[in-house]
Amino acid sequence: MQRSNTLTAAVAEVGARAIDALARFGRFWIFVALILSFIPIELLTLRGWRRLLPQCFYIGSCSVPVIMLTGMFIGMVLVVQGYAQFDEAGLADRLGGIVNISVAYELGPVLAGVMLAGRAGGALTAELGTMNVTEQLLALRSMGADPIRHLATPRFLACLVLTPLLTCYADLMGALGAWLVFVGVYQGESTPFWAYTAEMVEYWDLFGGLVKSLFFGATIGLVSCYKGFNCRPGAQGVGQACTESFVLSFMMILMLDLFLGFLLNGLYTIWYGFRQLI
């Protein structure tokens, strides 16, 4: 009898957790739908732009130095790690092309996304979480203002639009950093570095990287706002929400990178075949 009760309790616990997880999943997508539903009206009103532009400044402009430094160091490190092998094979001149493909298509968007999730995403969750626990979200509602429209939609839009732009900065600085180490440290030739870069890096690589960054930006905006809106009370609740926001954004960025990689490679194959045909 005792054993049967324990078993029933365990099954009930698993069931309750599954229902809870499903409910949270549903709540997240309702939240997403609400954010998206407010985008047109926010973009069509002056007040919407007044809310959006400060977020663009905070999420975009203030992140530029960090993103540029990250991009630059990625380029530098890739040259440091790859130069010896490429030089041994007599292919050192081609290193610029390889490094810049990696930066434009893969590392630039991913690391810009991760940096943004840490810098802006964490701050967004902390800000919204604090507003939540200090009743500011309730105050907005009590005054007839929708907190999702006022707070989440502008932040989401800023993340969505600015992540690709920041990725461009990361890409440019990555190329510059790679060139600096290639020429300054390994005494490589500038001309072949840029010539192979121009030859090997296709528009598709740049486009793929920017498409990825668009998805990463959307993920950062949605996750950080949702976690802020749904954090538990108290300082510990806000702290926990920030941690969860970063970890979840990071994991989602890596997962999306994998799936978008498959998708974009598939599309490239189709496009390449079509191009050969015409």
Partner 1 sequence: MPDENQPIIELRDVSKAFGSQRVLSRINLKIERGRNTVIVGRSGTGKSVLLRHIVGLLRPDHGSLHFEGRRIDNLSESALVPIRQQISFVFQLNALFDSMTVIDNVSFPMVENRRGKLDRERIRDLASRCLDVVGLRGFENKWPAELSGGERKRVAVARAIALDPPPKVILYDEPTAGLDPQRSDVVNKLIRSLQREMHVTGVVVTHDMRSAAEVGDRLLVLWDGGFIADGPPAEVLAATDPRVKRFVQGVAEPTDLRTLTG
Contacts of 214 (CB under 8 A, 6+ apart): 160, 163, 164
* Least distance (Å) between residue 142 CB and partner 1: 4
Residue with smaller CB distance to partner 1, 142 or 191: 142
Spatial CA neighbour of 200 closest among 96, 76, 276: 96
* Least distance (Å) between residue 80 CB and partner 1: 43
Residue with smaller CB distance to partner 1, 141 or 232: 141
Spatial CA neighbour of 124 closest among 235, 36, 220, 234: 220
* Least distance (Å) between residue 146 CB and partner 1: 7
Which residue in the block uniquely carries the two structure tokens 């959006």? 52
Residue with smaller CB distance to partner 1, 28 or 150: 150
Residue with smaller CB distance to partner 1, 139 or 270: 139
* Least distance (Å) between residue 223 CB and partner 1: 22
Residue with smaller CB distance to partner 1, 78 or 131: 131
Spatial CA neighbour of 196 closest among 182, 185, 207: 182
* Least distance (Å) between residue 14 CB and partner 1: 19
Site of interaction with partner 1 (CB under 8 A): 130-131, 134-136, 138-139, 141-146
Alpha helices in 45-107 (DSSP H): 46-59, 64-88, 95-101
CA distance 181 to 172: 15
